[in-house]
Amino acid sequence: MVTRQTCSKRLWTSPKPNNNNCRMPENFSLKETKPNIGGGRVSGGREKLTSSFDLVEVTHFLFVRVVKARDLACSNATVGGGVCHTFVEIKIGKYKGSTKYLEMNKRNPEWNQVFAFTKDRIQSLSVEITVREKEFVNDEFIGKIAIDMSDIPTRVPPDSPLAPQWYKLESEANSSVGELMMILWFGTQADEVFIDAWHSDVASVSGDSITNTRSKVYLSPRLWYLRINIIEAQDLVVPGDKNRNPEVYVKAALGNVKLRTRVSADKSLNPRWNEDLMFVAVEPFYDHLVLTVVDKNNEEEFSLGRCMVHLSEAYIRWLPEPVGAKWYNLEGGGDVVEELKFASKLNMRISLDGGYHVFDESIDCSSDYRATFKGLWPPAIGVLELGIIGASVLVPMKSRDGRETTDAYCVAKYGPKWVRTRTVVNSFSPKWNEQYTWEVYDPYTVLIIGIFDNCHLNGEKGPNPKDPSIGKLRIRLSTLSTNRVYTYSYPLIALQPSGVKKMGEIQLALRFTSPSYTSLLAAYARPLFPKMHYIHPLSVYQLDSLRQQAIGILCSRLSSAEPPLRTEVTGFMLDAGYQLWSPRKAKANTERLMDAVHVITEAWKWFDTIKKWNNPAANVLVIVLYLVVVFYPSLVLPTLLIYCFLIGIWQYRKRPRDPTHVDIKLSLADSTNADEWDEEFDTFPSSKQGEVLRMRYDRLRSMAGKVMVMVGDLATQGERLTALWSWQDPVASAIFLALCVMAAVVFCSGLVPPRCILVMVGMFVMRPPSFGIGIPCAPQNVFGRLPTKADCML
């Protein structure tokens, strides 16, 4: 038996640690926080809260809602029906916000805009609301209103919204210049106008860019697996030589995705395929499915006809039974010019398979496993609540006006629901204090949270700027205790070509509530995937190809929303490049495998010490236990179960108290050298050339060669086992069969009880070293001489 350390050393040569990347582990550790959430009732994050918005710190805002004006004394509107460019300006101390400009030839404009000013940052005793007229040089003053802070009321939801009132505008000449309808009140982030309001912390952003700073909730469109079972074609007309055997295949296209069948083996005018092609379709079904029958003649291809199918005509399938086949007429054969009296046909089964779950995330880190068809959804088992409190010590992401800055926003995904917080401009310690909820259908699911820098505000350079990622984390719900509030600061860890780097920390409050423990236990007993994944399983290649299609669809749809969830953000959250080669991941996965079989290797090492009689008292105890097992076999299973129970109770005191988070040691991020980082971040295909590419290829060949030898060793042992009765070695097979007959006669005759045989075998294996321990016994010698197929390998 190869030990864990030996096997690990055999597979991988551990690189020298990169001193620049070896940080103290505490820099990347999880920290429990004590935020002032729940109205001050939570200090350690362990109490159960029940009120809404109880997982975030209460932030007070001054809201100003500007509705409309009437009878404005606009100079341009009074001169020959000119256009009046009026807007409203709100000023509170150093903060200033303004409404959009309205170009109209009337004096009763309507804005209906809301402004939110953080109360803690207000350093003024009054609010000034000014109505102005836009001019080329200096904006013309129309009138203003001043309101003392002490006169502004406070609104606490779920109270109804306050009714706006008319205020008379005051001019410099004390004349009547019009009235303005508005309302001011103090509130919190629980106010319904908070999401769409203009915020004072984005005062430096103007124009259409303000839309990119607002928080928003997105819903992924419903995705379906579209299955096309192409059976056969009939009465095809081939141009040119009528006696030629055509090589026909079918090409299918849905949107930008194109697939094709193999060339039919029939090579006739009635070819058969019976082959499945699968696409990912999205609701609503805008795209048509286009199928083209193509004849391949040497290097040229000719279209023999095509048909177009609208997806609304496809059969929705949620049961394992296949749908009925249907004939479709082929039209528009571009190379067939003669007029036909009959139409070529294509026999197919087209169905939207709603019994599957369409994977857009990796299977092991998915936030949803439900089938597409709603009738197959299991009942919800609970509610997940997330409070995104803020971030701290974020690294600078860009430079603006000669100084480094970061405009951070947070994105969270669970199931089909995406949430995006508002952007906090020019802050390395942003505070969001936004709370969101999701329904939970399975505890094995994962919540994904990422932070990004907004590069679509004022001053960004480049024709198509992208929002770079700051960090990402995953939280598996099954590792959380129900009805408990978790308040932690998670490290934001990023992998860069220079190594692993801490990008900051994010403070979260999390709670998974399950009202029924019975429904939670029932969720563990259900199959993880919908039944169609087990009855008609898809191959690994199909799942990966369909997942890439799903990611492309989601990136396209979410990037067209307002504000858009951009393609780079969606791809980063969904791990679009998860399958690319990484030597670091290969080593880390090997270490994980060794840790998984660590119990077996340790048990073998312990048994090896027993055979060597290093501790005679322990050996005597083991022999006594073995004899008890032999003579009282009915105690074996209960003893093992009680032993497992006691081990679990003993390990309970060592149970993890904190949620899971990114482990840089498990990922080997602290021991990866610079060349391996450079290889991991290399493009695909590789951008390297010459000596660097040759060196990496040789290193990969060396690793693959060691894996190949290990696989060959395992295959050799399996072939020796099957060679016992294959008669490749007549002597060994004869010895084995003779022993089988002798053992059967002995057991059936009752001359030697089976317990005596087991006692003799056990005593022989655990004999003292003076009786020849360490020398292989006769059965081992026979097994080691059995032939294998390695002799037939080139």
**Nearest alpha-carbon partner for 512 in 502, 523, 503:** 523
Distance of CA 424 to the CA centre of its chain: 25
Q: What is residue 238's predicted lDDT score, i.e. its pLDDT?
A: 80
The pLDDT of residue 426 is above 60? yes
pLDDT in tens, 270-318: 899 999 999 999 998 888 999 999 988 777 888 888 899 999 888 999 9
- pTM exceeds 0.95: no
The DSSP code sequence of 594-647 is HHHTHHHHHHHHHHHHHHTTSSHHHHHHHHHHHHHHHH-GGGHHHHHHHHHHHH
Q: What is residue 16's predicted lDDT score, i.e. its pLDDT?
A: 43
**Max intra-chain CA distance, the chain:** 125
pLDDT in tens, 354-377: 999 999 998 888 999 999 999 999
**Nearest alpha-carbon partner for 719 in 783, 789, 793:** 789
Q: Order of strands, edge to edge, in the sheet holding 408-414? A: 216-219, 417-420, 408-414, 446-453, 469-476
The pLDDT of residue 632 is above 90? no
The pLDDT of residue 4 is above 70? no
Count of CA atoms in the C-beta half-sphere (13 A) of 533? 16
pLDDT in tens, 125-171: 999 999 888 775 677 888 899 999 999 999 887 788 899 999 998 88
Least confident range of 648-662, 674-688, 731-745? 674-688
The pLDDT of residue 750 is above 90? no
d(CA 258, CA 214): 37
pLDDT in tens, 44-70: 444 444 446 789 988 899 999 999 988
Most confident of 463-472, 521-530, 636-645, 784-793: 521-530
Q: What is residue 39's predicted lDDT score, i.e. its pLDDT?
A: 54
Mean pLDDT across 75-82: 53
Residue identified by tokens 């059995």 is: 786
